[in-house]
Structure 1
Amino acid sequence: MWPWLALLPPAVAVQPSFKELHLELFAKDPDIHHVVQNFSNPYDIRPNFKNYPHSNLLPEFFTEILDILHMEGMPRFIVEVGSLHGHSAIQMATVLDKLQMTEVPILCIDPFTGDTNMWASYQQDQSVGGWVNIIDGRMTVFDQFMANVQFAVNRSVSKHHILPFQATSTVGARWLVQKGFAPDLIFLDSAHELDETYLELSLYFNLLEPGGILFGDDYGWPAVKKDVDRFVEQHNLQFGYENPIDLRIARAQAGATNLIWIMRKAKLAKNATKRAVYRSPDRLLCV
């Protein structure tokens, strides 16, 4: 583990409301000026939910994640690291609304610049170029995200869920530390390059509220699998007695090829000096 990661202080158990997040990020009351609803859309980007082929977070799977956390009164604050066009965030918000959890904020941390594969392949690979749009020398990832989320909010999704935070995962993690905000559910879907996933795991598992869940997709990708396995092994060697990671692997749905990894952080048991490991139902977390 990189030594400088130890500089991050432990997460403080505070879960902000949507309004608190909006005020901290944009210095505006969302009831007066809502950043999503008031998006100006300078390039007139239309909402698009079809072109991007890699959204693997299905409503049924996310519902089961919520079922696991519901027994502990969670989630109260969700962070998504890597949001791209907002498809997964909208899926999560839709499920939350169906469960009458209309006030749970989803903070979407992403620089919205496009990843290595997008920049390297969009001219040669039509499967990539079909969902890449460049205007004024930059990819319009943020504009597409905002157009999609604005459409969803204006149509049906609660306006008290999704907030964009246009920052790198490192900046986002350090901001959460400085504000003392501890998410109890984190969806990590950003870097898929070797060592980048490991770095983000090191940052965001440290921020996770005890008893919370950190999960991500594409465990079948060699770089992701290597970094996830490496992080869990090294963490459990160092902290396994007091704070072990319970890692499970699941399919996005029955018969699916995409694998999702799930980690649950140990939580101090009441009236006990050692930590209790919360294990997730095998009906969900198995391949």
Structure 2
Amino acid sequence: MKDKDDTKERSMHHHRLQRKLVDLTKKLFANPTVFVILLMLSYALGYISSPTFNSSRHTPPPNSPNPSIFQLTNLPTQLDNFRVTTRCANPIPPQNARQLIIDRLFNGTSPYSNFPPPHVTQLLRARRIKGWGSYGAVFSRLINKVKPRIIIEVGTFLGASALHMSNLTRQLGLDTQILCIDDFRGWPGFRDKFKDIQMINGDILLYYQFIQNVMYLNASESVLPVPYSSGSALTTLCEWGVTGDLIEVDAGHDFNSAWADINRAWRILRPGGVIFGHDYFTAADNRGVRRAVNLFAKINGLQVRIDGQHWVIDSAGNM
């Protein structure tokens, strides 16, 4: 008898709870604001639990052997922060480039005038030319192919490759101007290997030795320094309308530096021109220059050709 009474009491309690829930639900849905909030919450919960949402939140890392479609299709978007957006001026005639740079960078006076200044005369060697991969056959092949009016070199150091290219263009009878972009500061600790490059009050005389090398080889009419960082110099040439037929990128060898230089240099490469550079094969493997070159080519639908230690991209596509 007691069991029956307990069962009846539980049944009545359950019935009262149901009535209360029904009444509460009616009151909630009678309020439009509450109804909208509940609707939005249910939509959000459904979206978060969907397979599409979960796959986009858990895309494989960039080096994954199986990247998702989402990742591949959004690769250009992911790189937007690294893109160069400077608006370039209309290209100027090649024969005007040298004087434009002398006027705007050197106040109208050639950097070779009255060189060397007295305070560095005794600190310079008559000739101190050093480079890496500066005499490869790629230089001759590309100059013969392109026959450039303007060559832009990004990363010059003591001028070995620039002076080699100057000699090659002279042998072909070309009227070529070579613009050498470099801040001429070397890198921290480089004087451990180049102790003969002197310093005055912390000012490394790399720039002066470069000028001395150019004058020693009688190349001052064809080789002109642009003594600024690659980023600021390439951006400025873009704004001035200076373009190159052949551009060598050989400054920083880490991914970020190479990526920035290649993108900026590409903007001032004339249609049909060639861009190339050194250090495609280094101890950095696919973390440095090679990664930047390959990624740039992939995104822009270009082909990379290897010539010794150099990479080459022909904007005309006829490798």
- Same fold (TM > 0.5): yes
Query: Aligned residue for 2:291?
Result: 230
Gaps of 5+ in 2: 1-78
1:29-86 C-alpha deviation (Å, 9 max, x unpaired): xxxx532243234311123335x3x33121743121112213xxxx111111111111
- Candidates 159, 173, 182, aligned match of 1:86: 159
SS of structure 1 residue aligned to 2:307 = strand
- Candidates 247, 258, 261, aligned match of 1:197: 258
1:183-234 C-alpha deviation (Å, 9 max, x unpaired): 1111112112332111211211222112111111122224475344433444
Q: In 1, distance between residues paired with 2:222 and 2:156?
A: 14
Query: Aligned residue for 1:247?
Result: 304
Query: Aligned residue for 1:25?
Result: 105
1:137 Cα offset (Å): 1.2
So what's the TM-score if we normalise by structure 1? 0.73
- Candidates 110, 118, 125, aligned match of 1:46: 125
Cα distance change, pair 215–194 in 1 and its aligned pair in 2 (3 A) = same
Query: Aligned residue for 1:265?
Result: 315
Tell me which amino acid in the other structure corresponds to 1:39: F
Tell me which amino acid in the other structure corresponds to 1:14: I
Instruction: Map 1:161-240 to 2 at 5 A.
Output: 161-223=222-284, 225-240=286-301
Query: Aligned residue for 1:34?
Result: 110
Are the equivalent residues in 2 in contact too, given 1:48–1:148 (CA < 8 A)?
yes
2:176 counterpart of 1:104: yes
User: More helix per residue: 1 or 2?
Assistant: 2
Q: In 1, distance between residues paired with 2:291 and 2:186?
A: 26
Q: Which has the higher contact order (CA 8 A, sep 6+)?
A: 1
Query: Aligned residue for 1:9?
Result: 87
SS of structure 2 residue aligned to 1:249 = strand
2:278 counterpart of 1:278: no
Gaps of 5+ in 1: 123-127, 252-258, 267-276, 280-287
Query: Which structure has the bigger radius of gyration?
Result: 2
1:74-102 C-alpha deviation (Å, 9 max, x unpaired): x111111111111211111111111111x
Q: In 2, distance between residues paired with 1:246 and 1:68?
A: 17
Tell me which amino acid in the other structure corresponds to 2:99: K
Cα distance change, pair 47–219 in 1 and its aligned pair in 2 (3 A) = farther
SS of structure 2 residue aligned to 1:263 = strand
SS of structure 1 residue aligned to 2:94 = coil
Q: In 2, distance between residues paired with 1:190 and 1:48?
A: 22
Q: In 2, distance between residues paired with 1:114 and 1:64?
A: 29
- Candidates 55, 67, 72, aligned match of 2:144: 67
**Identity of aligned pairs, percent?**
25
Are the equivalent residues in 2 in contact too, given 1:108–1:165 (CA < 8 A)?
yes
Are the equivalent residues in 2 in contact too, given 1:79–1:106 (CA < 8 A)?
yes
Are the equivalent residues in 2 in contact too, given 1:11–1:206 (CA < 8 A)?
no
Q: In 1, distance between residues paired with 2:177 and 2:221?
A: 6
Number of matched pairs: 236
